[in-house]
Amino acid sequence: MKNWAWSLIVVVLALLLLASASFYSVRMTQTAVVLQFGKVVRVTEASGLHMKWPLVQNVEFIDNRLASYSTQPESFLTAEKKPVLISFFAEWQVVNPLAFYTRLHNDASAQSQIGDIVRSSLRGEIGTMTLASVIQGNQKKITEPVLVAANRRLRSLGVHLVDVRIMQVGLPPAVLQAVYKRMEAERTQEANAYRSRGAADAAEIRASADKEKTQIMADAYRQQEELKGQGDAEAASIYGAAYGKDPAFFSFYRSLETYRHSLGDKDILVLSPDSPFFKYFRHSLEPAGK
């Protein structure tokens, strides 16, 4: 009795295990590929509980959500054969589970294949552009042809590339140093040109200022001489008028001016006492009895 009970329990457990092996569950984010002895027999895209033959069939699940691929900066050659460092980001999705499993089998292989295809398409696009257009250009104009070319090759793999973005564009250190030196040389040349133009402008301004100064001094000297001539003429006129009114007083005044300018503390004049120079001295001394 006990042996029969144990046998029944074993049979029931075996049936349960066999029943559980006959079902598989597909999530909404998955697609199931049913294999029989390693060959694909069907693809289940509907979510829910499904049946399969136990022991002879197994199920591989493929995630149909968006997946991403990104790289570190890599060297690409432009049309001038100049290196440029570019890192990119790609989003992809499985659209043909049968082709995906048959050609790629799993996500790791898919990542490798997608990276190589996108990298090759991007390399071909960068190879048609100049370094300046790569660095300064619109990245969307670069990635759109890459997206089209990569999808053309990925279609047979059951993968659709949703988006490609360039994350970083830079120059290798050696090229960057050369660019810095060239920029420094250009700025130095530009600064020297500014200095030369400044020196020329300064010389022109100084020459103009010196010319203007000379002209102003000449005008001032001319005005000075004109005023001096006018003053001398007016003085002569005043002297003439004064002489006409009282010649004796005018003669006396001019003699005093002559004495004042001719006789100083250390001046010595050797003249005869009867000289006309002492005319007014004599007139002033005679009343005193000398």
Please give the pLDDT value at position 290: 43
If we measure between CA atoms, which residue out of 175, 148, 172 comes closest to residue 162?
148
H runs (alpha helix) in the chain:
2-20, 97-103, 107-126, 131-136, 139-154, 173-245, 247-262, 279-285
What single-letter amino acid sits at 27? R
- Looking at every residue in the chain, the average pLDDT score rounds to 81
Cβ contact 281:255 at 8 Å: no
Predicted structure pTM score: 0.57
In percent, the amount of the chain with pLDDT more than 90 equals: 21
Rg value, the chain, Cα: 58
Q: Please report how the helices 173-245 and 247-262 are oriented relative to each other, as an axis angle in degrees rounded to 10.
A: 130
Q: Please report how the helices 139-154 and 107-126 are oriented relative to each other, as an axis angle in degrees rounded to 10.
A: 130
Q: Which residues on adjacent β-strands are paired with residue 63?
A: 30
pLDDT digits (tens, 9 = 90+) for 187-230: 888 888 888 888 888 888 988 888 888 888 888 888 888 888 88
Cβ contact 126:84 at 8 Å: yes
Please give the pLDDT value at position 49: 86
Please give the pLDDT value at position 285: 45
What residues in the chain have per-residue pLDDT under 50?
1, 285-290
Please give the pLDDT value at position 164: 93
Please give the pLDDT value at position 12: 58
Please give the pLDDT value at position 145: 93
pLDDT digits (tens, 9 = 90+) for 227-254: 888 888 887 777 777 667 767 666 667 7
If we measure between CA atoms, which residue out of 31, 34, 58 comes closest to residue 45?
31
